[in-house]
Structure 1
Amino acid sequence: MSTSGSGLESPMPPRADLNTGQVFRHRPDRPEHLQYSQHRPMPVVPPGPPLPTQPESGIPPLPRSGGQRPPGPRNRIDPNQIPSPVVVHEQDCEVFENEAFRTCQFLTSKNLTLAGETLSSSQVPLSLTDYVAIDEGNCTPRFIRATTYSFPETEELARAAELPLGLIVQPLAELGQGEGECVPLADFGEDPTGPPRCSGCRGYINPCCTFTDGGQRFRCNLCGKPSDVPSAYFCHLDMSGRRLDHYHRPELCRGSVDFIVNKEYWVQDESSQPRTPKPMKYLFAIDVSWSSIKSGMLKEVTRYIKRVLFEESIDNNEDDTDATGLRHSSNSFGKRKFTEGGEVGFITFDRTVHFYNLKGGLEQAQMLVVPDLEDMFVPIGEESLFVNPQDSKVIIENLLDSLPSMFEENQIIESAIGGPVQAALSSLRKLGGQVNVFLTSLPTIGPGALKQREETKLYNTDKEHTLFNPSNPWYRQVAEECSLAGIGINLFLFPSQYIDVATLSVLSGITGGEVFFYPRFTPQRDGCKLESQIRRVLTRETACSVTMRIRCSNGVRVSEYFGSFLQRNVTDLEFGNIDSDKAIAAIVKLDGRSESKSEVHFQCALLYTSSNGQRRVRCHNLTIPVTSIMGNVFRSADMDATITAVTKQYITQASQSPLKEVRATLTESCVKVLLAYRKHCASSTSPGQLILPESFKLFPLYSLGLMKTKALKGGNVSSDVRTYYMRYLRSMGAGATLLMIYPRMVPIHQLSDEVGSINPNNGRLKLAPLMRASYLRMEPDGAYLLENGDVMLLWLGNSVSPQIINDLFGVRSLEELEPTKNYRIPRLNTKLSEQVRTLMKHYNAHKGEIGNCLMICRQNVDSSELEFANLLVEDQNNDAMSYVDYLCFVHKQIQNELSSSGGGEIKSFDNSGSNFDPSSLWRAAW
């Protein structure tokens, strides 16, 4: 084994030859990596004149989609020879196409309680791969995804690797197809002692705990302390020391479990009495000022709420049982409609607040008006404000139908958000629940009044970040009150001009809610997306009155959290609401050395009230092997978790530092990781070679993609748009983050006949091959579907076949399409229509939305093509370099670091154009 400068050893797995694609074995002293050599002739042509504007293949990019171009001669570096996210995705899909991911198969230690025998190491599936996970005592990566699955043994090793050690935790994530409907349920609701817990660290019983003294005691895997087993929980052990009921108790054989808990875990009211858990309450606060009428928002919102509430419900299978006989709690929220047992209430507002009595037995809803915004109160009782929608169906339907006409002559232009939020807090303080606020303009009166503070002259300057911070402390104060009361706030914003998302979004950020943004709302373009997102909010799994704590093995601790939550101490995160789409990043530190020489353990405990009114603790347990070898840390690294953690970290930094500095620091982080690998795992290679570890070969591309998002990109972007995307990226899980950083793109004019059909071998949908996001790979006679989880666009080339247009839309030419309309693909009796609608439904289901809606982008015709062009990450756009140029730039920085004695400061990405020539990547050895 070769040794690096720090004396850390490297393993010797296989690598791929870039020229032939063949896999071969390393010599014993070589680690796993990709090697981009200067002296290989295939990837590059010798330096010559600058490349022409028109590429040799593909089509030219939009001239308006500007970016940075390094000066000097540019090499014709073959983009096909650099790492491709499409190839990585396809390879991962092939691995798990017909084989399930077993959650303990990456554990290699012989002495692990979970394993029982030596297990072969295996990759963890990517976040966007369709896979089936089998919970063997470790939770699936849907719930917790680690940045590496070989944990460094010492703090020194962790520092040398430069990896952001941490976890991406999405505690209510939906399970995949074939994984059952729900997380296993263990009922301790009537047990006075509750679930067995460690008497030391208070960790919950889990598959890694070991039983001793004939089953009368168990030893905690987190802190190592023994604890007595409650008499009601006692069971004898078999000859191997395992309980006889091991496979009948989900908490002993599954990595994820829901405990139904007793009154000791219930929320305490103001008098310190336990509050009986109840099904979720949903309060809708709808702006009825002049702008909501003019934009059509009020009509669309009331129509879609009515549609979601009263569509025929689907059986929830609350007490489903799997093949092992374990009882489960329902998790089929993608199929179900509105929460069973949930109650709804409605208020409307302009410069006054209107409450509606919906109590059953009334002929119609009764409106009560509170005009004093400074002294807000709720004029009706809980039983009149909140009702079961089925019990008051006629009253609610009539109210929603009549609201647009009731306020159609409203000339009041002011809207006051403070009054409705205070009313929501008063009405839900003792209940908990969810508030959905629909707002069309900057609130200028009452509590929380805001002023126009947008300064375009600050765009793209060092002071721009000041626009991303809230301007009124009232919002944080009331948001904290809501969070502690178990109330989450979702904001649906429909501004025609500046609305101060930075300040308003504090309400969602602290309470665990979400912001939905529809600038210059028009029903024809945005109505489909609005309906999908209202449906998602009202049907996804949502919990209220939530507290989260992550416990770690001795010697390991969580040092920082990133996401949307309230944190009042160093250990606990509090959420008014949390739903199945939300995730947090937990950064992990070692305090010297991990006390375990074989594995490290993590347990995430989520105390919450489910939407159907049960108080539960959801536990996710993860065990990771410990290693003393640097190469293992890199080989087992997870790119998806790493870039998600990095994203949350730098998005948080963006409100405190200039964006230029954030982008430079992001590049610096990428360089440090690759440099660490180069120093410690590939030190014998030539400095002229670009060495990328297999697990992190896409780090430069994903870093570039993050810098090209609307949250961090250079150029002039309104502060409302930036802060919306910042909030989105701070709260989403790994899959949604990866899609936003690098969209998926499908050439639909090349779909084979089997796309959209069901694979008989595994029962899954046969998907279309993806392609890399670049104009260089497109053709003028093509049709390309592109989506990033936020928007879906269909690009149609000038020379696209009329048959494709006819098969998709039932028209004969591009000129007959309406570019301002957000199209719902019509249900036509054509193969292509069926395939595209199936793909869109699948992609929408991946991010939890419903509806086959997209924007049309006709080549060199529609303004929406600029949006499309900016999503082509590999091109030169968004005030940033192309992928090829950025990869060369990163390599140049690594070369500078290797050649400098002290490893000086890494140069800024934004100021590097004047002194960087990408041809230097290859020139020396050539």
Structure 2
Amino acid sequence: MASPTQQLPPGWTAEWDAGSGQYFFIDTTTGARQWEPPTITGSVEPPMGVGAGAPHAKSRRQYAAGQTQAYYGAPDAMPEQNFGPPQPPMQAGGQPQFFSPAQAQMQPQQAQQGYYQDPSQMNQMADQFSQMGMGGQKGFQLYTANLLTSPPDPRELSIPPPEIRLPPNASVTPSLTANADPSYQRCTINAVPTTSSLLAKSKMPFALVLTPYRTLNEGEEPVPVVTDTVIARCRRCRTYINPYVQFIDGGNRWRCCMCNMSNEVPQMFDWDQVRNQPGDRWSRAELNHSVVEFVAPTEYMVRPPQPAVYVFLIDVSHQAVQSGMVATATRTILENLDRIPDENGRTKIALICYDTSLYFFSMPPGSSESSMLVVSDVEDVFLPKPTDLCVNLAESRESLTNLLGRINDMFKDNSIIGSALGPALQAGFKLMSPIGGKITVLSSSLPSLGAGALKNREDPKILGTTKESGLLQAASTFYKTFAIECSRAQVSVDMFLFSQSYQDVASLACLPHYTSGQTYYYPGFNASRSEDALKFGHEFGSVLAMPIMLEAVMRVRATRGLRMSSFHGNFFVRSTDLLAMPAVPQDQSYAIEIQIEETVTSPFVVLQTAILHTTCYGERRIRVVTLALPTTTSLSEVFASADQVALATYFSNKAVERSLTHKLEDARDMLFKNLVDILLAYKSSMTAGGAGAMGQLAISENMKMLPVLILGLLKNVGIRQSAQIPPDIRAYAQALLTSLPSQLLIPYIYPTFYSLHNMPEEAGTVGPEGIVLPPPLPLTSERLERHGLFLIEDGQTIFLWVGRDAVPQLIMDVFDLPNYDALRGGKYTLPHLENPMNERVNAIVAKTRALRRGPYYSHLYVVKEDGEPALRLWALSALIQDRLDVLPSYQQFIGSLKDKVHGNGGY
């Protein structure tokens, strides 16, 4: 896709959007964003090192050279990496005197020593920033879009959220990383109403969306680590020092940004322990970065840091062996033993197999042999041996390797049908509860005996009725009760479920839900299909290699007047606001609702998440994520600051919660009602009535994709109105809706749609930052062509749609087949051929998989236009702007919203 080559007029800047491979343009005076360039005359090059299709490239603010110089000072006076003078000016008595950047403006004599150039330059900087919408001098500029004449543009979803515009000098350092990146922590509104009545009037939800442990893509900065164990915290509210505190009393004390308490600066705060000399306060990571990790001193430990412990519970019943699950699972563990985190040689591992009995394996250290111990009494579970069942990975590597190579052969002729999963869980718990760690369950059938036994409750007659939500709730109290026991003992559970028939995912997913684990589901798994074995092997291997965070507790603090009121995600709420997470996987998301309890008087509020945890390498740490947001008394600023991606993430959590506490129909009604309420509030407060009012459906420009995202949620299998969705499929979809980070959730509810047969020349080729992706299309079958090749993807599944009139040369180039008739539909592995079209399609498929954070590996399905009806319907259901069964098209949905907003009834 060609990039703009013109010179922008004054007051405009361009930013490269890696997701769509295009520029978007920002009016720096008003903050307005648009895809089309303003009137221009000269040339602009892409930002250095940024190309189309860069995976999750962080959008960085691009400043003109003069602005950068004014911000940091002249290059010769102050290097970029130095945020302050080597030594602070001295006050009477020989004590150092500290000035934050805010205070530095008031101290021209000290500014000359290298912190800033002079007060006039500081004022110039503040003026430039306020013009860019960062200084807080100008509020959020509200632009209204008419949903009736503004069809969804998928590129809108890759634009960063509305910029957070804090007052001048809110941060004590001029760091551009002082506020949280949206991929770690984002808010549904980026301007916080000062009163609960103003928030209620807007009808906007106020919630925080967290992904505190996200994966880092290549080239992304790792989270800075403070290793000197000097941790400054407020004495009253226990907030960690951050870029938004104030230094007072000549730098000897700091004022908390949450409760205004005055605290002493720790004695060693200004000492460089590595060099054993006075340090530079202003370069400390916690004053420059919104996301920072502290190495915790001993007072943060109840016990010495635990080693990482992995217990694998492997179903070896007849069905599990025949499907190839046992062979694939043991081979994957064997191939990934070197990837399991074990830098310090402390990691422990245990294997327990089960059918209607339990099979333990003793692996004495230093021996290459192992012995199997059988426990057939599953009513009163006990460990058959006190030692050598949970062994050190390094010390027992040889016997473990031999055992993994033999397990499938041991049980290859097993004819036992039945599953004692509950007793196996109890055995794994007994084995690891003194330490804690992760239980990984691999199950191929419905638990049938012992604790936690379940019955097949799948009943096609109640699908699509008001009773269906009962199938989405746990059928046995065992799983929630056991999960809470696990949480207390710092044990987390991951479930890998492989079913040929009903498995009651809703009940089994309780374990990961309350122990901060994750559920993975493989319906109809058969390892003889290479696609099935590859998907499971890739995902299971990624989970094994994941650097998990152990025995974690998380708490979110906020400025006085705000309170965390409700929590969504995989954890157990131990007290009113303390979340217990025995093992935190990467790329898991959480949503937290916030209430305004009393009038907020400060010009900005601060929300801080702190997670105390043990790394899987045996180090106790605290990860702190800080987000500052301006306050406002203006309703228009609340609307103009809304983050539609965070809103969709929040609503997905709320919809699943409502479907479980009430009915699926109630969840759908709630989503529609909330959207109508927002549109009504916007209409009554932000638009002028009159003859033309009935001809529009108004919403702020930054929220115009929210209706189509809500429609995507209404059509997602986790929420959708249908009598055809099996309860296991629906329960798994709901588990994804409440745990996926926004970067994965948005394509899951609003899939990506590309045309491949006529894509731009550079699509599928290597650009400066990797593979260039085609431009995304709106999700409607109107874009399908009978001679075309299209890709539809939702982060879990990739469809290649092939039109019935596709020319033989296209089929030959992509699939190595003579014509359309020779092509088969279904799960598929694309061949690698030496022709440009095949290479480009393979590159786009690979890049699409790599773009999605987390361990998921999408199945690829070939869908022929006149092929298997069920597969066609599945692929077409991803085109959510079309009508689907009883669910409306986007145009009908917008029409229903318009009728409701203008008082004419509706959907």
Q: 2:164 matched to 1:164?
A: no
Q: Which residue of 2 aligns with 1:612?
A: 617
Q: 2:780 matched to 1:774?
A: yes
Q: 2:750 matched to 1:746?
A: no
Structure 2 length-normalised TM = 0.80
Q: Which residue of 2 aligns with 1:231?
A: 267
Q: Which residue of 1 aligns with 2:291?
A: 256
What is the distance in 2 between the residues matched to 1:803 and 1:792?
Answer: 23
Q: Which residue of 2 aligns with 1:663?
A: 668
Q: Which residue of 2 aligns with 1:634?
A: 639
Offset at residue 858 of structure 1 (A): 1.2
AA aligned opposite 2:678: V
Offset at residue 543 of structure 1 (A): 1.1
What is the distance in 1 between the residues matched to 2:39 and 2:349?
Answer: 60
Alpha-carbon contact 2:166-2:629 (below 8 Å) kept = no
Q: 2:327 matched to 1:299?
A: yes
SS of match in other structure, 2:440: strand
What is the distance in 2 between the residues matched to 1:531 and 1:738?
Answer: 25
Q: 2:426 matched to 1:419?
A: no
Quick one: structure 1 residues 851 and 561, their matched pair in 2 at CA, closer, same or farther if it must change by over 3 Å? closer
What is the distance in 1 between the residues matched to 2:412 and 2:540?
Answer: 23
Offset at residue 216 of structure 1 (A): 2.4
Equivalent of 1:106 in 156, 164, 180 = 164
What is the distance in 1 between the residues matched to 2:447 and 2:322?
Answer: 17
Matches within 5 A, 1:233-632: 233-234=269-270, 245-266=280-301, 268=302, 274=303, 276-310=304-338, 341=345, 342-381=347-386, 384-388=389-393, 391-523=395-527, 524=529, 525-596=531-602, 598-632=603-637
Q: 2:889 matched to 1:889?
A: no
Q: Which residue of 1 aligns with 2:150?
A: 82
Offset at residue 850 of structure 1 (A): 7.1
Residues 395-420 of structure 1 show CA distances to partners (whole Å, capped at 9, x for unaligned) of 33332222222112111101111111
Equivalent of 1:809 in 808, 815, 824 = 815
Quick one: structure 1 residues 544 and 527, their matched pair in 2 at CA, closer, same or farther if it must change by over 3 Å? same
Equivalent of 2:652 in 629, 644, 647 = 647
Q: Which residue of 1 aligns with 2:878?
A: 871
Alpha-carbon contact 1:143-1:171 (below 8 Å) kept = yes
Offset at residue 774 of structure 1 (A): 1.6
Residues 729-761 of structure 1 show CA distances to partners (whole Å, capped at 9, x for unaligned) of 11111122111111111112123332244433x
What is the distance in 2 between the residues matched to 1:163 and 1:718?
Answer: 34
AA aligned opposite 1:228: E
SS of match in other structure, 1:285: strand
What is the distance in 2 between the residues matched to 1:344 and 1:491?
Answer: 17
Matches within 5 A, 1:4-23: none
What is the distance in 1 between the residues matched to 2:364 and 2:437?
Answer: 19
Alpha-carbon contact 1:565-1:573 (below 8 Å) kept = yes
- How many residue pairs get aligned? The number is 769
Alpha-carbon contact 2:658-2:666 (below 8 Å) kept = no
AA aligned opposite 1:628: T
Offset at residue 232 of structure 1 (A): 2.6
Unaligned runs of 5+ in 1: 1-10, 38-80, 117-133, 237-242, 269-273, 314-335, 898-906, 913-926
Equivalent of 2:233 in 193, 197, 211 = 197
Quick one: structure 1 residues 431 and 841, their matched pair in 2 at CA, closer, same or farther if it must change by over 3 Å? farther
Q: Which residue of 2 aligns with 1:32?
A: 143
Q: 2:178 matched to 1:137?
A: yes
Offset at residue 852 of structure 1 (A): 7.5
SS of match in other structure, 1:518: strand
Residues 809-834 of structure 1 show CA distances to partners (whole Å, capped at 9, x for unaligned) of 322234444434x3232332222333
Residues 104-150 of structure 1 show CA distances to partners (whole Å, capped at 9, x for unaligned) of x632412413476xxxxxxxxxxxxxxxxx85211211110111111
Q: 2:693 matched to 1:687?
A: yes
SS of match in other structure, 1:654: helix
Q: Which residue of 2 aligns with 1:795?
A: 801
Alpha-carbon contact 1:825-1:853 (below 8 Å) kept = no
Moved more, 642-651 or 830-839: 830-839
What is the distance in 2 between the residues matched to 1:224 and 1:595?
Answer: 12
Alpha-carbon contact 2:172-2:287 (below 8 Å) kept = no
Quick one: structure 1 residues 801 and 535, their matched pair in 2 at CA, closer, same or farther if it must change by over 3 Å? farther
Q: Which residue of 2 aligns with 1:733?
A: 741
What is the distance in 2 between the residues matched to 1:297 and 1:254?
Answer: 45
Higher RCO (C-alpha under 8 Å, 6+ residues apart): 1
Q: Which residue of 2 aligns with 1:155?
A: 196
Alpha-carbon contact 2:352-2:428 (below 8 Å) kept = no
Alpha-carbon contact 2:313-2:442 (below 8 Å) kept = yes
Q: 2:187 matched to 1:187?
A: no
AA aligned opposite 2:146: Q
Q: Which residue of 1 aligns with 2:867?
A: 861
Moved more, 81-90 or 506-515: 81-90
Offset at residue 878 of structure 1 (A): 4.9
What is the distance in 2 between the residues matched to 1:439 and 1:184?
Answer: 39
Structure 1 length-normalised TM = 0.79
Unaligned runs of 5+ in 2: 1-27, 41-138, 273-277
AA aligned opposite 2:497: L
What is the distance in 1 between the residues matched to 2:331 and 2:448?
Answer: 28
Residues 220-269 of structure 1 show CA distances to partners (whole Å, capped at 9, x for unaligned) of 11111011223233569xxxxxx962343211211111111122222x3x
Q: Which residue of 2 aligns with 1:61?
A: none
Alpha-carbon contact 1:805-1:812 (below 8 Å) kept = yes
Q: 2:250 matched to 1:210?
A: no
What is the distance in 2 between the residues matched to 1:593 and 1:500?
Answer: 47
Alpha-carbon contact 2:798-2:858 (below 8 Å) kept = no
Identity over aligned pairs, percent: 28
AA aligned opposite 1:536: S
SS of match in other structure, 1:643: helix
What is the distance in 2 between the residues matched to 1:114 and 1:840?
Answer: 45
Quick one: structure 1 residues 232 and 487, their matched pair in 2 at CA, closer, same or farther if it must change by over 3 Å? same
What is the distance in 1 between the residues matched to 2:140 and 2:280?
Answer: 48
What is the distance in 2 between the residues matched to 1:382 and 1:212?
Answer: 58
Quick one: structure 1 residues 851 and 171, their matched pair in 2 at CA, closer, same or farther if it must change by over 3 Å? closer
Offset at residue 582 of structure 1 (A): 0.7
Quick one: structure 1 residues 756 and 563, their matched pair in 2 at CA, closer, same or farther if it must change by over 3 Å? same
Offset at residue 340 of structure 1 (A): 7.1
SS of match in other structure, 1:890: helix
AA aligned opposite 2:647: T
AA aligned opposite 1:172: Y
Offset at residue 495 of structure 1 (A): 1.7
Alpha-carbon contact 1:13-1:32 (below 8 Å) kept = no
Offset at residue 156 of structure 1 (A): 1.5
Q: Which residue of 1 aligns with 2:117?
A: none
Offset at residue 805 of structure 1 (A): 2.5
AA aligned opposite 2:298: K
Alpha-carbon contact 2:367-2:398 (below 8 Å) kept = no
What is the distance in 2 between the residues matched to 1:144 and 1:135?
Answer: 16
SS of match in other structure, 2:540: helix
AA aligned opposite 2:156: V
AA aligned opposite 1:724: Y
